[in-house]
């Protein structure tokens, strides 16, 4: 059954977008998109159950046989990503932002939902497809949609950030396209598994090494790996808060999957980490990201910017897991995809609540807000603790497996550095918590009139906060799937 409707995972949101454009009714579009995403989530979960334990579901678009036709191919790795993206989309879309993004008037709100659906379709497409060029197309669909979404933020700088994001993202996309072209030249095929089977990477083959370089740099831009992260803090802090929550929870995660897939499935761990020794670059960059981005987060006075810099640091943890190239570390990186999506998505939704009630998320404006909005503030604390990696939260789970993976590899210094970087997270989270609970509200602030956020906002934020605790205590599902995915990747499969 599920293998017959697998393609709907992408087709439904892709076709729901024009339906929204045609119907032009904001309320309809809101619930329609929510319904579509709910169906996608159901398909993703069904797929995950189907492929757990090494199964694979394949779909031939248009009835054309792979490797000539485009194949959608779902294994544990893809199903995990699909479930992650659709779950986050579901929670974020159910967040009632009371009037949508500030830039979009009522009569144009249907377009906002259409763009949101296109973004989801693009991300799901990247995760599901088994065709290299198809990935590029979906990458650009999701990127173009996210540039638009970012530009809808209320502040004038949102448009400028979207422009930067567009320039960086397009360069990344073109790099990716060139990399795919070189691979096609090398192997004569675009099917990922076929490329992997035919490619015999060696250091003497400059075309292959160049392809790897282009792909890695291109994806790294989209993933915001440390020195290429420049677009991210601005984009996340000026986008509408709901959009920040969605992008922070999904976009970089899908890029991470793409990077892992290129490194492990196409080129294979023996070449990338044995011959080429990519970890010599990836590991220092990850550690730099953890420290410099966390350090930058400490000095931010705006909660959104703080969280955005923290996102760059968290990408560092993920790529650190990648560079260990062993099952534990890679599983740690993969499980951090989900864990970070849950906590950062939740935190950005909390930001949306605060923005709605307080009107600003400047740290000073949040002084003493813990008494006025106790539930929102509590969700903020849970997310913050999870960022630090306190036991009992998802952040701890990620760091535990990351540290185990790093130690397994024998990199004791890196393990120590992971723990030290948590101290930086403690500082920036502590700064927020201190302001929210222990600082006296500034005199000028009309803080007495601030009430708890409405239920439609609070509930989704709390779903993610609760998930951050729940999956911090029960790791069977998340780590189980991630471990299986990691082993699959290391074996060169998808």
Partner 1 sequence: MSSVQSFSGLWAYWLLIALMMVGLYIVIARDNLIKKVMGLNIFQAAAILFYVTMAKVTGGTAPIVPHDPAHPGGHGGHEIVYSNPLPHVLMLTAIVVGVATTALALALAVRIHGEYGTSEEDEAVAYDMEHG
Partner 2 sequence: MRPPSRVREMPILRVVARALAPVILLFGLYVQFHGDFGPGGGFQAGVIFAAGLIIFALTFGAEALRQVVSVVLTERLMAAGVLLYGAVGVLAMFLGGEFLNYSALDPLTTGHHGQHLGIIAIELGVGIAVAATIMRVYYAFVGRRPESDGETREPSLGAEPGGRTS
Tell me which residues touch partner 1 (CB under 8 A).
133, 136-137, 140, 144, 147-148, 151, 156-157, 159-160, 162-163, 166-167, 170-171, 173-174, 177-178, 181, 184-185, 190
> What is the maximum alpha-carbon separation in the chain?
70
Report the nearest approach of partner 2 to the CB of residue 162 (Å): 11
Report the nearest approach of partner 1 to the CB of residue 220 (Å): 16
Residue 180 to residue 361: CA distance in whole angstroms: 42
Could you tell me if 164 and 235 are in contact, meaning their C-beta atoms sit under 8 angstroms apart? yes
Report the nearest approach of partner 2 to the CB of residue 360 (Å): 12
Q: Helices marked H in 152-205 — which ranges?
A: 157-187, 192-198
Q: Helices marked H in 327-454 — which ranges?
A: 327-358, 369-372, 374-388, 394-409, 412-433
- H or E stretch covering 73: strand 71-74
Residue 221 to residue 224: CA distance in whole angstroms: 5
Is residue 35 near partner 2 by the rule CB under 8 A?
A: no
| Per-residue x/- track, 39-68, partner 2 (CB under 8 A) | --------------------xxxxx-----
Query: CA end-to-end span of the chain, whole Å?
Result: 21
Helix axes 109-128, 241-260, angle to 10 degrees: 20
Report the nearest approach of partner 2 to the CB of residue 183 (Å): 25
Residue 354 to residue 121: CA distance in whole angstroms: 29
Which token pair is 158? 């949102």
How many CA atoms, within 13 angstroms, populate the side-chain half-sphere of residue 303?
A: 35
Is residue 152 near partner 2 by the rule CB under 8 A?
A: yes
Among 15, 68, 203, 427, the residue binding partner 2 under the rule CB under 8 A is 15
Pick what 63 binds: partner 1, partner 2, none; C-beta below 5 to 8 Å, kind-dependent: partner 2
Could you tell me if 30 and 92 are in contact, meaning their C-beta atoms sit under 8 angstroms apart? no
Could you tell me if 10 and 37 are in contact, meaning their C-beta atoms sit under 8 angstroms apart? no
Residues 156-215 that bind partner 2 (CB under 8 A): 156
Instruction: Give me the sign of the Cα torsion angle 147, 304, 251, 249.
Output: negative
Question: Count residues contacting partner 2 (CB under 8 A)?
Answer: 29
By DSSP bridging, strand 57-60 and strand 71-74 are antiparallel
Report the nearest approach of partner 1 to the CB of residue 166 (Å): 5
129, β-bridge pairs: 72
Q: Helices marked H in 199-298 — which ranges?
A: 206-223, 231-238, 241-260, 269, 279-288, 294-298
Query: CA nearest 431: which of 276, 310, 318, 327?
Result: 310
- Which of residues 105 and 207 has its CB atom nearest to partner 2 in the complex? 105
- Which of residues 163 and 470 has its CB atom nearest to partner 1 in the complex? 163
- Which of residues 154 and 493 has its CB atom nearest to partner 2 in the complex? 154
Pick what 181 binds: partner 1, partner 2, none; C-beta below 5 to 8 Å, kind-dependent: partner 1
Residue 481 to residue 79: CA distance in whole angstroms: 9
Among 37, 93, 111, 162, the residue binding partner 2 under the rule CB under 8 A is 111
Pick what 43 binds: partner 2, partner 1, none; C-beta below 5 to 8 Å, kind-dependent: none
| Per-residue x/- track, 244-283, partner 2 (CB under 8 A) | ----------------------------------------
**DSSP-derived 3-state class of residue 60:** strand
Is residue 105 near partner 2 by the rule CB under 8 A?
A: yes
- Which of residues 7 and 34 has its CB atom nearest to partner 2 in the complex? 7
**DSSP-derived 3-state class of residue 19:** helix
- Which of residues 168 and 358 has its CB atom nearest to partner 1 in the complex? 168
Report the nearest approach of partner 2 to the CB of residue 21 (Å): 4
Report the nearest approach of partner 1 to the CB of residue 163 (Å): 5
Residue 164 to residue 161: CA distance in whole angstroms: 5
Among 2, 39, 103, 174, the residue binding partner 2 under the rule CB under 8 A is 103
Helix axes 327-358, 76-94, angle to 10 degrees: 10
Query: CA nearest 342: which of 403, 387, 293?
Result: 387
- Which of residues 235 and 426 has its CB atom nearest to partner 1 in the complex? 235
Is residue 155 near partner 2 by the rule CB under 8 A?
A: yes
Cβ neighbours, 10 Å, residue 462: 20
Pick what 15 binds: partner 1, partner 2, none; C-beta below 5 to 8 Å, kind-dependent: partner 2
- Which of residues 177 and 318 has its CB atom nearest to partner 1 in the complex? 177
**DSSP-derived 3-state class of residue 302:** strand
* Piece of the chain touching partner 2 by CB under 8 A; list 150-158, 328-336, 430-438, 451-459: 150-158
- Which of residues 18 and 374 has its CB atom nearest to partner 2 in the complex? 18
- Which of residues 105 and 374 has its CB atom nearest to partner 2 in the complex? 105
Pick what 167 binds: partner 1, partner 2, none; C-beta below 5 to 8 Å, kind-dependent: partner 1
Give the residues lining the site for partner 2 (CB under 8 A): 4-5, 7, 11, 14-15, 17-19, 21-22, 59-63, 103-105, 107-108, 111-112, 148, 151-152, 154-156
């Amino acid at each position: 059954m599920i293998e017959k409707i697998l393609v709907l995972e992408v087709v439904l949101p892709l076709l729901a977008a024009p339906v929204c454009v045609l119907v032009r009714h904001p309320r309809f579009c809101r619930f329609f998109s929510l319904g579509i995403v709910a169906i996608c989530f159901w398909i993703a979960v069904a797929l995950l159950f189907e492929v757990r334990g090494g199964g694979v579901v394949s779909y031939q678009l248009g009835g054309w046989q792979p490797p000539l036709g485009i194949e959608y191919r779902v294994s544990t790795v893809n199903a995990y990503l699909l479930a992650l993206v659709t779950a986050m989309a579901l929670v974020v879309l159910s967040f009632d932002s009371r009037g949508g993004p500030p830039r979009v008037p009522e009569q144009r709100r249907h377009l906002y939902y259409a763009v949101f659906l296109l973004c989801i379709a693009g991300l799901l497409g990247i995760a599901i497809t088994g065709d290299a060029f198809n990935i590029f197309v979906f990458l650009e669909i999701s990127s173009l949609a996210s540039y638009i979404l970012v530009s809808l933020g209320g502040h004038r700088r949102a448009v400028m950030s979207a422009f930067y994001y567009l320039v960086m993202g397009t360069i990344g996309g073109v790099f990716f396209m060139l990399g795919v072209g070189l691979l096609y030249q090398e192997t004569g095929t675009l099917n990922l598994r076929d490329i992997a089977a035919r490619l015999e990477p060696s250091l003497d083959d400059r075309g292959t090494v160049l392809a790897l370089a282009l792909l890695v740099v291109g994806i790294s831009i989209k993933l915001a790996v440390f020195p290429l992260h420049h677009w991210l803090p601005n984009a996340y802090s000026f986008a509408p808060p709901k959009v920040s929550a969605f992008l922070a929870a999904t976009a970089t995660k899908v890029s991470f999957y793409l990077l892992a897939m290129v490194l492990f499935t196409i080129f294979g761990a023996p070449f990338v980490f044995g011959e080429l020794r990519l970890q010599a670059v990836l590991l220092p960059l990850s550690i730099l990201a953890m420290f410099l981005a966390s350090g930058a987060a400490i000095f931010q006075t705006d909660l959104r910017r703080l969280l955005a810099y923290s996102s760059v640091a968290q990408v560092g943890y993920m790529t650190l897991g990648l560079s260990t190239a062993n099952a534990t570390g890679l599983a740690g990186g993969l499980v951090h995809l989900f864990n970070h999506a849950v906590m950062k998505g939740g935190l950005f939704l909390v930001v949306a609540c605060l923005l709605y009630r307080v009107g600003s998320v400047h740290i000073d404006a949040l002084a003493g807000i813990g008494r006025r909005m106790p539930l929102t503030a509590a969700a903020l604390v849970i997310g913050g603790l999870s960022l630090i990696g306190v036991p009992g939260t998802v952040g701890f789970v990620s760091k535990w497996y990351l540290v185990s993976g790093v130690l397994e590899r024998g990199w004791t210094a890196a393990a120590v550095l992971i723990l030290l970087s948590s101290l930086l997270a403690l500082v920036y989270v502590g700064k927020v918590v201190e302001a929210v609970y222990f600082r006296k509200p500034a005199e000028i602030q009309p803080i007495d009139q601030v009430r708890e956020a409405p239920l439609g906002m609070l509930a989704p934020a709390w779903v993610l906060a609760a998930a951050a605790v729940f999956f911090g205590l029960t790791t069977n599902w998340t780590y189980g799937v991630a471990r299986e995915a990691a082993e699959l990747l290391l074996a060169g499969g998808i």
